Amino acid sequence: MACIWAKSMVNLRFLSVFFLFLLCLPTGGGQKKKENLLSEKVDQMMEWSSRRSVIRMNGDKFRRYVKAPPRNYSVIVMFTALQPQRQCSVCRQANEEYQVLANSWRYSSAFSNKLFFTVVDYDEGADVFQQLNMNSAPTFMHFPAKGKPKRADTFDLQRIGFASEQLAKWIADRTDVQIRVFRPPNYSGTIALALLVSLVGGLLYLRRNNLEFIYNKTGWAMAALCVVFAMTSGQMWNHIRGPPYAHKNPQNGQVSYIHGSSQAQFVAESHIILLLNAAITMGMVLLNEAATSKGDVGKRRIICLVGLGLVVFFFSFLLSIFRSKYHGYPYR
């Protein structure tokens, strides 16, 4: 009896060890397979990145290399529509800034396999747009190495703009990867300044015997007004933030020139505000001319009515734009 019991115990121990071995075998094999798959994906992404800084992806590549695990790298994706028939000028402008940022990362000393820049064009990956319920372009998203994208992983393009520097700050916040933006040299500003200085210098030289025009109050007033109009219309904000010129709704094709938020604006909107301010100023100048001049009374009355009409009409238009951006503003 004792011998039978001892044999049973031996068999039981053997079966336990055997089952433990079977349990460990697929786990180890699965882990090895997972590591090989991850290594293959990283190598492929590095190869693509060595060819071009921004990797173009279709639906299959996006699902395999961006969405599907395993993945130990972060991916920045620009969803866009660059084909000419889409007529998305904003997409082309955003793509230029995106290329500058990707090149800055690709050719920096800190470049590694922890971050990749990719692009999905609507005409090459419409299924990806449908999968993500995306109905506008361009859109920038960050897909982290672990977990799903959160709300902050979608770049606030409308509020911040798409300048490379702003994208770099957002990436640093989401990935802790610091990217120093290097822009290719642009000598257009220097050339324009040199031409302006040459033009002014040449004009002064030609008029060196008669420089009374320098003391012309009207000329200086016009120059000062141009600077004021440029600054009050938001041109400096456009220069810093780099907003799109306008926005085209991809669903109905409607183009918006006025941004609906008080925290942002389009370039076209600043041009509209500049023209409105200029028209209002012209009306005020005419009113002042009608009140101070000593000409014919009938002519002065006409000038007064024209100036008053300009001020009332265009200031009302300006106020309506203000109300559309600052919702709840009570006056009209």
Residue 78's pLDDT is what?
Answer: 95
Mean per-residue pLDDT for 261-286? 88
For residues 42 and 136, state if they share a domain: yes
Residue 27's pLDDT is what?
Answer: 47
For residues 159 and 43, state if they share a domain: yes
Q: What Å distances lie between residue 308 and 215, 274, 305, 322, CA to CA?
A: 31, 19, 5, 21
For residues 36 and 125, state if they share a domain: yes
Residue 12's pLDDT is what?
Answer: 47
Does 235 reside within a domain? yes
For residues 311 and 263, state if they share a domain: yes
d(CA 97, CA 181): 10
Residue 146's pLDDT is what?
Answer: 87
What would the two tokens of residue 116 be? 């990749």
3-state secondary structure of 141: strand
Single-letter amino acid, residue 325: K
For residues 242 and 167, state if they share a domain: no
Does 204 reside within a domain? no
Q: For residue range 224-244, list pLDDT tens digits in order.
A: 888 898 888 888 878 776 777
In this prediction, what percent of the chain has a pLDDT beyond 70? 89
For residue 208, the cross-strand partners are none
Q: Strands of 231-287 (E only): list them.
A: 247-248, 255-256
**What is the span of the domain harbouring residue 140?**
32-175
In 3D space, the residue among 5, 153, 135, 3 whose CA is nearest the CA of residue 66 turns out to be: 153
Q: For residue range 138-180, list pLDDT tens digits in order.
A: 899 999 988 889 989 999 887 888 889 999 999 999 998 999 9
Q: For residue range 70-115, list pLDDT tens digits in order.
A: 889 999 999 999 888 887 878 888 899 999 999 999 999 889 999 9
Burial of 134 (0-12, 13-18, 19+ CB in 10 A): middle
For residues 164 and 245, state if they share a domain: no
Mean per-residue pLDDT over the chain, rounded: 83
Residue 18's pLDDT is what?
Answer: 52
For residues 261 and 267, the model is more confident at 267
Lowest mean pLDDT among 15-19, 294-298, 317-321: 15-19
Q: How many CB atoms lie within 10 A of CB 220?
A: 11
Q: What Å distances lie between residue 319 and 98, 234, 236, CA to CA?
A: 36, 16, 22
3-state secondary structure of 178: coil
For residues 119 and 56, state if they share a domain: yes
Does the pLDDT value for residue 120 go beyond 90? Answer: yes
For residues 36 and 171, state if they share a domain: yes
Q: What Å distances lie between residue 328 and 159, 257, 262, 263, 325, CA to CA?
A: 20, 21, 12, 15, 9
Do 96 and 242 form a contact (C-beta atoms < 8 A)?
Answer: no
The size of the chain, in residues, is 332
d(CA 239, CA 163): 9
Q: How many domains does the structure of the chain reveal? A: 2
Confidence category of residue 264, pLDDT binned at 50, 70, 90: confident
d(CA 35, CA 29): 10
**Which residues, in sequence order, are CB contacts of 132 under 8 Å at separation 6+?**
79, 141
For residues 269 and 147, state if they share a domain: no
The residue whose two tokens read 């009938």 is 298
Do 105 and 218 form a contact (C-beta atoms < 8 A)?
Answer: no
Residue 25's pLDDT is what?
Answer: 45
Residue 37's pLDDT is what?
Answer: 87
For residues 49 and 139, state if they share a domain: yes
Q: For residue range 24-72, list pLDDT tens digits in order.
A: 444 455 677 888 888 899 999 999 998 999 999 999 999 999 988 888 9
Residue 332's pLDDT is what?
Answer: 64
Confidence category of residue 10, pLDDT binned at 50, 70, 90: very low
d(CA 37, CA 41): 6
Does 313 reside within a domain? yes
